[in-house]
């Protein structure tokens, strides 16, 4: 990528993308450039069309194709200043899928399977607060407000919001702090780094995968699954959607309503029409 590498890093940071998105965009653009082994000015619309068709032909899912197209479009529109080469791009609409939600027993099994203390506490934070993995890894010690019992979160687009700090989580964090003494300013740091850098989301994602296997969970589990589970369990316990919307940092309530779709609270209150015509067998 040459000189474009530094420019892309700067442009992604200026665009306000979270660190995880910046890394993914950079990785996807670099993969494309390695594939072509030609400078951007020598690539044509037809080259890019063939590249996307190649991804689809290899069985890459609609969501992943959309992510890679977004990265390529950003690169040519912003960094390479050649928007005409990607003007044809329209993102495929991924099929609607209900989020995977763990039961509380499954969450506990996942936590028990995490041996390293810092990783177990991060996953506990994800389930206790509904934070995104990038938000949790970037937490600083000053973000924990024990007097107001809230956590200050910097989310997408540098937007700030407050997350709940439960008494149980506060106690867990205090125990963790006394045992680990992470290097300031971050709450969760990589011990192998002497610069006090925060632990990477990729390390947490890998740990969750290993813990899922160790716990014998068959469902696909990622750090984001804990966010889904947090929202759904709150709704099942009676928390209103607009409150969940604020806690998750959703701009639109429409994004939050999907958790109502997987909540069993409303379903339990609905009577099946079968129940009005069939007499249940007597219990023994």
Asked if the structure places residue 12 within a domain, the reply is: yes
SS3 content of the chain, % helix, strand, coil (to 5): 60, 5, 35
Res 273 pLDDT > 70: no
Asked if the structure places residue 93 within a domain, the reply is: no
Mean pLDDT across the chain: 87
Res 251 pLDDT > 70: yes
- Where do the H-state alpha helices sit in 75-116? 104-112
Q: Are residues 134 and 22 in the same domain?
A: no
The pLDDT assigned to 175 comes to 95
Asked if the structure places residue 91 within a domain, the reply is: no
The DSSP code sequence of 9-48 is: HHHHHHTT--HHHHHHHHHHHHHHHHHH-S-GGG--HHHH
Q: What is the CATH number for 72? A: 1.10.150.130
Q: Give the end of a domain, one of 21, 54, 85.
A: 85
Q: What is the CATH number for 180? A: 1.10.443.10
The pLDDT assigned to 174 comes to 95
Q: Are residues 68 and 112 in the same domain?
A: no
Q: Are residues 143 and 263 in the same domain?
A: yes
CB-based contacts of 262, cutoff 8 Å, min separation 6? 98, 99, 101, 228, 232
* Structural domain total, the chain: 2
Min mean pLDDT across 140-144, 166-170, 184-188, 261-265 is at 261-265
Sheet with 160-164, side-by-side order of all strands: 144-145, 150-154, 160-164
Asked if the structure places residue 173 within a domain, the reply is: yes
Asked if the structure places residue 90 within a domain, the reply is: no
Q: Are residues 159 and 78 in the same domain?
A: no
The pLDDT assigned to 237 comes to 86
Asked if the structure places residue 272 within a domain, the reply is: no
Q: Are residues 201 and 143 in the same domain?
A: yes
Q: What is the mean pLDDT of residues 240-269?
A: 78
H or E stretch at 117: helix 117-129
Min mean pLDDT across 58-62, 65-69, 135-139, 145-149 is at 58-62
Q: Long-range contacts: 41-49, Cβ < 8 Å, 24+?
A: 41/80, 41/82, 43/85, 44/85, 45/84, 45/85, 45/86, 45/88, 48/72, 48/85, 48/86, 48/89, 49/88
- Give the domain range for residue 28: 3-85
**Crossing angle for the helix pair 19-36 and 3-14, nearest 10 degrees?**
150
Cβ atoms 66, 91 nearer than 8 A: yes
The 3-state DSSP class for residue 240 equals coil
Q: Are residues 140 and 42 in the same domain?
A: no
Q: Are residues 215 and 140 in the same domain?
A: yes
Asked if the structure places residue 114 within a domain, the reply is: yes
Q: Are residues 10 and 116 in the same domain?
A: no
Res 284 pLDDT > 60: no
Band of pLDDT at residue 283, cut at 50, 70 and 90 = low
The 3-state DSSP class for residue 161 equals strand
- For 70-129, what is each residue's pLDDT tens digit? 999 999 999 999 999 999 988 766 666 778 899 999 999 999 999 999 999 999 999 999
- For 167-195, what is each residue's pLDDT tens digit? 999 999 999 999 999 888 999 998 765 56
Q: Are residues 109 and 35 in the same domain?
A: no
Which positions are catalytic?
Answer: 132, 156, 224, 227, 250, 259
Alpha carbons within 13 A on the beta-carbon side of 224: 6
Min mean pLDDT across 31-35, 115-119, 182-186, 266-270 is at 266-270
Band of pLDDT at residue 7, cut at 50, 70 and 90 = very high
The pLDDT assigned to 271 comes to 67
Q: Are residues 154 and 36 in the same domain?
A: no
Asked if the structure places residue 32 within a domain, the reply is: yes
Q: Are residues 139 and 74 in the same domain?
A: no
Q: Are residues 158 and 128 in the same domain?
A: yes
């Amino acid at each position: 990528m040459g000189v474009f590498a530094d420019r892309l890093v700067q442009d992604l940071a200026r665009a306000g993308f979270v660190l995880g998105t910046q890394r993914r965009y950079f990785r996807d653009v670099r993969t494309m450039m390695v594939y072509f082994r030609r400078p951007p000015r020598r690539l044509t619309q037809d080259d890019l069309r063939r590249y996307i068709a190649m991804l689809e032909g290899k069985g890459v899912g609609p969501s992943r194709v959309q992510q890679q197209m977004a990265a390529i479009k950003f690169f040519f529109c912003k960094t390479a200043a050649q928007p005409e080469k990607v003007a044809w791009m329209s993102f495929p609409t991924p099929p609607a899928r209900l989020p995977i939600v763990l039961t509380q027993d499954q969450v506990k099994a996942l936590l028990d399977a995490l041996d390293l203390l810092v990783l177990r506490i991060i996953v506990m934070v994800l389930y206790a607060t509904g934070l995104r993995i990038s938000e949790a890894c970037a937490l600083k010690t000053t973000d924990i407000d024990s007097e107001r019992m809230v956590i200050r979160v910097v989310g997408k687009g540098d937007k700030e919001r407050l997350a709940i700090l439960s008494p149980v989580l506060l106690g867990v964090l205090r125990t963790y702090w006394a045992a680990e003494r992470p290097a300031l300013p971050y709450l969760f740091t990589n011990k192998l780094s002497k610069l006090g850098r925060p632990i990477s989301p990729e390390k947490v994602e890998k740990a969750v995968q290993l813990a899922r296997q160790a716990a014998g969970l068959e469902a696909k589990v990622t750090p984001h699954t804990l966010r889904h589970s947090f929202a759904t369990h709150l709704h099942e316990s009676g928390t209103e959607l607009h409150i969940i919307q604020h806690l998750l940092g959703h701009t639109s309530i429409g994004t939050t309503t999907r958790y109502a779709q997987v909540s069993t609270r409303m379903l339990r209150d609905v009577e099946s029409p079968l129940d009005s015509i069939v007499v249940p067998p007597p219990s023994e």
